[in-house]
Every structure is written in structure tokens, then in C-alpha cells.
Amino acid sequence: MGSRFDRRVLPWLLLTPALLVVFGLVVYPVGRTVWLSFRSAGLPYLASGQSRFVGLDNYRRLLTDAHLREVFVTTAVFGFACVAATMAVGLAVALLLNQPFRGRGLLGVLVLLPWAVPRVAAGVVWRWMFDDRYGLVNWALSHLGHDFTGFSWFNARLPAFIAVGVVVVWQSFPFIALSLLAGLQSIPPEVREAARMDGAGPLQMLRHVTLPMLRPLLLTLIVVSTIWDFKIFDQVYVMTGGGPYRSTELAAVTVWREAFARLHLGSAAALAVALFAVLLVMTIGYGRLAREEMAIR
């Protein structure tokens, strides 16, 4: 036991398969995308590999093209709005499920269902629910008082984003709720009891006990949600296709349109790299925050 081979070589040998997978599926494609972002490449590139070095031209376009700039702002605003809504709904559902009541187990399972629905399928179903003439949403809203008959959700940017946002939040809150529920259940009952003895009401309990104790978990979930919600593609592609007049295009949809519709592969790659860089910076920022948090404890 404990030979030099075992200590020096064996670990690497055991890691090799995993490293190969990571390299093949992550490092190489990302490297290739970065390489492509400095080149001008169209359909001929796909057929025969022709492309031309253009330096920073593709990146310059990101800054000068008004539509692309707008897409970045839209993606950020919509992404953060979805993160905020998802966290709020997820937390509310987790707090609810943390209460003892009859049917809690069943509700816990039901809450998971939206998460299990494939995103494209959800988009198609919800597009019908938001249909201007035959949709369930307009029918329900009209019954609640305000007349929504014939209201067209996909005619302008804001209502279209509300419709898409509902689907995004509906599909992503279960994961958040479940994770937070696990977090809530790990809070020692003594802490709550002590707070209650000191006369804390439910809101004070939430603000001064529950949320602070969930903070590291909340930060992680925010990072994960942010990454998800900045890359939203399926729901937008299915529900609006980026329209009307490209006003609901998010960055991932624009990458797809640049690459597969306009066949500007280089500029699509530059856009993808820029989005990647933004996400990376945010992730590192959150990571820092989370570590400082732990250091304080």
C-alpha cells in the first residue's frame, strides 16, 4: 500500500475520463466559440471551413449596433425581474409548505409538476392560454372584473414579456421552493422558539431569523436563477419568436438568429462570448459575496 504510483499517478488516471468529458464538452467548444468570434464566417464555413480573421470587428458591432445593445439591456432587465419574481414565489411556497397542515405532502408533489413540464411544451400550452380570442387567461381575467376580451398579449413588448415571464417563473419556482424548504427545515427549532419567547411576530421572525439563516442558500439560488434567466431561449422562441418586430428578443434568441437565420456565425459567437463574460463576472461576484458571508460567520 501507499506506493509512489498509487499516490502520484493513480488519482490522475482515475480523473482522466472525467477530464476528457469536461474538455470535449466544455473547454473545446468554448475555445472554438471564442476563436470563431474573431472571424467572419457564413454558410461556407459550415460546408468547407472557410472563414476570415477580422480582429475585433464582431465585438465592435456589439457596441455600435443599436438593436444588439438594446437586446443586452432587455435581457438584463427581464432576467433580473424573473429572478426576483421566482425567488419571491419560491420563498412564499416554501414558507407555506413548511407549515403543518393536511394535504401538505400532496401539495408538495403538485408544486413540482411545472418543473417537470418540458419548456417547449409549456411554451406552446401557455401561448394558447394567452391567445387573444380563445385563451383561458383573457376569459379568466374578464371574469375577475376588467374586460380583457380580445386583448392581444403578443402585440407589444410589455404584455408579451409579462406572458413569457409568467411561464418562466411558473417553471422555475418549484426548484427554488424545494431548495428553500430544505433550508427552512434545517433551521434548528430552538432558534425559532427563542425568538418566539422574545416576542417576535411572524414578519419579524421572517426578517430577523429565517432569512438571515437562509442567506447562503438564497445567494446560491440567486446565482443559479440568474444564469438560467439570462439564457432563456425556449419559452421566448416558442411564444413570441422574438416578435413583434424583434422587441422581445433576448440575448440567446439573438445568438440563434444571428447564427442560424442570418448565418453571421462570427458575430453570433461574439454575442455568445459577451453574454458568457457577463454571466461569469456576475457569478464570480456572487461567489465573493457568499464567501465573505461565510467568513463573517
Partner 1 sequence: MRRRRPRRSPFLALVVALGLLPGCGALTPSAGARSARGPLQVWIMEPGSAELRAFFTSATTEFESAHPGDRVSVQFVPWASAHDQFVTAIGGGQMPDVAEMGSTWTAEFADIGALEPVDLFHLTGPEPIGSRIYLPSLVDAATVGGKAYGVPWYAGARALIYRADVLSALGLAVPATWNDLLTAGRAIRDRTPMAPFGVAGDAEHYVLPMVWQNGGEIAVRQDGVWRSGMSTPQAVAAVQFYADLFRTEHFAPAGALSWNARDVRQAFAAGDLAMMIGGAWDLKAILAAHPDLAGKVGTALLPAGPAGDRSSFAGGSHLVVFSGTKKEAVARRYIEFLADPARVAAFTSRIGFLPAIRGDDPVGDARPDTLYGPFAEQLEEHSRTYPPTREWGGFEADGLFTAAVQQVMAGRQTAGQAMKGVAKAMDEAFSG
Q: Does 15 help bind partner 1 (rule: CB under 8 A)?
A: no
Please, are residues 180 and 220 in contact by the beta-carbon 8 Å criterion? no
Rounded CA separation 120/134 (Å):
20
Give the interface segment with partner 1, choosing from 39-47, 91-99, 110-118, 188-196 (CB under 8 A): 39-47
The least CB distance from residue 231 to partner 1, in Å, is 5
The least CB distance from residue 169 to partner 1, in Å, is 19
Amino acid letter, residue 131:
D
Three-class SS of 201-266? CHHHHHHHHHHHHHHHHHHHHHHHHHHHHHCCCHHHHHHCCCCCCCCCCCHHHHHHHHHHHCCCHH
The least CB distance from residue 86 to partner 1, in Å, is 17
The least CB distance from residue 101 to partner 1, in Å, is 33
- Dihedral pair phi/psi, residue 101, rounded to 5°: -155, 160
Q: Does 290 help bind partner 1 (rule: CB under 8 A)?
A: yes
Q: Does 244 help bind partner 1 (rule: CB under 8 A)?
A: yes
Q: Which of 119, 192, 196, 246 binds partner 1 (CB under 8 A)?
A: 246
Of the two residues 87 and 160, which places its CB atom closer to partner 1 in the complex?
Answer: 160
Give the interface segment with partner 1, choosing from 53-61, 93-101, 131-139, 181-189 (CB under 8 A): 131-139
Specify whether the backbone of 102 is left (phi greater than 0), alpha (psi in -120 to 50) or beta.
beta
Q: Are strands 52-53 and 39-40 parallel, antiparallel or unpaired?
A: antiparallel
232: its cell numbers: 432563456
Q: Does 104 help bind partner 1 (rule: CB under 8 A)?
A: no
Give the interface segment with partner 1, choosing from 21-29, 56-64, 178-186, 196-204 (CB under 8 A): 21-29
Give the interface segment with partner 1, choosing from 4-12, 99-107, 196-204, 239-247 (CB under 8 A): 239-247
Residues making contact with partner 1 (CB under 8 A): 22, 25-27, 29-30, 32-33, 36, 43-49, 131-133, 150-152, 154-156, 220, 223, 227, 231, 233, 240-246, 251-252, 255-257, 259-263, 265, 268-269, 272-273, 275-276, 279-280, 283-284, 286-287, 290-291
